[in-house]
Amino acid sequence: MSDDSFVQKIQKQEQLTQEQEQSANKAVEGKMEEEHKNFLTVLFGLIDKGEISVDDPQTMLKQDVYQKLDEEWVGKVDLALLNIVNQVRLIENFRKDKNTPDESPQLQTMVEQLWQMKQRIEDHYDVFVF
């Protein structure tokens, strides 16, 4: 397909209705792998007990490990922590939203993104509570 024919096809597309847009933005229901569900059980348990909080990022750190880090690693952990807190917030909001399913490929992907963020640090230091 040439660039011109692609552009022509795009230009011929009709606008989505508001209902179609809302439907396109909804999370689809779908089974999640057991490993992901188990992780969410642990994560939500920590949140529900008040042991970790997105409003207090330091609660997500093992302070005894964090305090022993050198300045370079404190900086790396602090930067990663900002992203991790945001990802946990997204996951928690997904759980609280009455319009999202309990199991979803989107939720599983969010968990995997969180794991990747944590892993970059945890390859060197086991500094996170979960």
Per-residue confidence of the chain (130 residues) as pLDDT tens digits?
566 777 776 677 777 677 766 666 677 788 999 999 999 999 999 999 999 999 999 999 999 999 999 999 999 999 999 999 999 999 999 999 999 999 999 999 999 999 999 999 999 999 999 9
Whether 18 maps to a domain, the answer reads: no
Whether 5 maps to a domain, the answer reads: no
Whether 7 maps to a domain, the answer reads: no
pLDDT at 24: 60
Whether 99 maps to a domain, the answer reads: yes
Whether 44 maps to a domain, the answer reads: no
pLDDT at 21: 65
Whether 127 maps to a domain, the answer reads: yes
pLDDT at 2: 64
Whether 29 maps to a domain, the answer reads: no
pLDDT at 74: 98
pTM for this structure?
Answer: 0.80
The tally of domains found in the chain comes to 1
Show the domain range for 61.
53-130
Whether 91 maps to a domain, the answer reads: yes
- The candidate with the shortest Cα–Cα distance to 36, out of 79, 85, 97, 94, is 94
Side-chain-facing half-sphere of 35: CA atoms under 13 Å = 4
CA–CA separation, 116 and 122 (whole Å) = 10
